[in-house]
Amino acid sequence: MSDNIIEVRDLSFSYGRKTIYKDLSFNIKEGSVFGLLGKNGVGKSTLINTLMGYNIPQSGSCKILGEESSSLSSTTKDKIGLLHEGFISYDFLSIKEIEEFFAPFYKKWRKDLFYDLVDLMELDYSQKLNTLSFGQKSQVVLGLIFGQDPEILILDDYSMGLDAGYRRLFIEYLKDFIDGNKKTVLITSHVMDDLEHLVDEIGIVQKGEEVYLSSMKEFTKSFRCYQGENSLHLEKSFYQRLEKQKNRTLYYSFLDKETIERENNCSLTELECSFEDKFLGFVGKY
């Protein structure tokens, strides 16, 4: 049997004349963490909605655990923990009440997993959700996802509303939760630095372009930033993106420094970059 938990094959989807995906194909293997990355409005949530059966592919297919996403069985749905961007919470309930409300809906409900995450915030269980900060409320909602003990976690912008401290708590908890447990994760986020040491594979979505698919390790290793003299003009074939600043020109490229210098008879300086720097160098800042 295939060890692919999610399989997307030749997927095409449009809103009217606006093409979101055309002939998109990728797999997500069991036990891996896949980061779906891109600017706002490029189709990350659209893909998640298609995987969950809310959108029907116009051509191609999406499968989860071998089943077409448009007709997932209740058995397969029970194995998926879904966090939607812009989640809904029942603000009139307390932390204790919302746990008790959700528990009967899930056969594998684990109260301990819910409270493990909630307890990191040191909150009183009697507190109503409408008394919590948005970040605290987000953490309770994430606790409800983990309480389902799902085999597959689909987290659409988990970081929304979480400050740096809560994001760090969540990422550390997520790492512990999936470590050695064959949990499969599809995650989107606007906070790139959180993902560098969490994600195994990435898909970078850009408007009107093919989705870039790679391992996190290969992308961070091979995509580089070089500084050149402002008078230097490289041919487009030598770089992915050019960024002109006041006193320097930056070139982002998959080519090594020696090749570019040799072919252009020039001198470049390679710059140290974070994953976020490289991501923005790939998609552009604006």
Tokens of 256: 């090594």
Task: Give the other-Cβ count within 10 Å of 164's Cβ.
Answer: 11
At residue 113, the pLDDT reads: 93
Provide the domain limits for residue 267.
223-283
At residue 86, the pLDDT reads: 63
Last residue of a domain, one of 174, 201, 218: 218
Residues 228 and 214 placed together within one structural domain of the fold: no
Average pLDDT (90-104) is 95
At residue 121, the pLDDT reads: 86
Last residue of a domain, one of 218, 234, 258: 218
Tokens of 186: 């599809």
Is pLDDT at 170 greater than 90 in this prediction? no
Count structural domains, the chain: 2
The pLDDT tens digits for 118-151 are 998 889 999 999 999 888 888 898 899 999 999 9
The CA-atom distances, in angstroms, between 240 and each of 80, 218, 253, 284 are 37, 16, 5, 10
Q: What is the mean pLDDT of the chain?
A: 90
Q: Are 56 and 212 in contact (CB under 8 A)?
A: no
pLDDT tier at 2, thresholds 50, 70, 90: low
Here the CATH number for the domain that contains residue 11 is 3.40.50.300
Residues 187 and 232 placed together within one structural domain of the fold: no
Residues 57 and 185 placed together within one structural domain of the fold: yes
At residue 114, the pLDDT reads: 95
Task: Give the other-Cβ count within 10 Å of 214's Cβ.
Answer: 16
Residues 205 and 232 placed together within one structural domain of the fold: no
Residues 160 and 253 placed together within one structural domain of the fold: no
Tell me the whole-structure pTM to 2 decimals. 0.90
At residue 286, the pLDDT reads: 75
Residues 191 and 61 placed together within one structural domain of the fold: yes
DSSP letter assigned to residue 71:
G
Task: Give the other-Cβ count within 10 Å of 250's Cβ.
Answer: 19
At residue 115, the pLDDT reads: 95
Distance CA 233, CA 81 (A): 49
Average pLDDT (88-92) is 83
